[in-house]
Amino acid sequence: MAQLDPVQRVLLDLGKMRAAAFNEALKLPAPDPFKEILLEVDQILSQTEDRVKGAKVTILLPLKLAEPGIPEKWARGLREMVGLED
């Protein structure tokens, strides 16, 4: 199995935590206060996933546009590391 880059690993871990919180919330009866807390945790983790994905694109995508200012070897290595296409 190929090793995941750090961002993919974080997203995978967040997804697992989110699924666990949501599944536990489904097991609880509606008036249970822990159900609301678990659903809030699910929502927070979802927002965190979105922010991580957005940061990856916001920070690293401009490297593709700024290539003339970055040595080609570095730009290529960074694009490969984060999975951006040439």
26-56 confidence digits (pLDDT tens): 999 888 899 989 989 999 999 998 888 877 7
pLDDT of the residue at 8: 84
The reply to whether the predicted model has a pTM over 0.85 is: no
- Say whether pLDDT at 65 is over 80: no
21 burial level (CB within 10 Å; 0-12, 13-18, 19+): buried
DSSP string, 5-18: PHHHHHHHHHHHHH
Percent of the chain with pLDDT over 90: 26
Per the model's pLDDT, the better-predicted residue between 73 and 16 turns out to be: 16
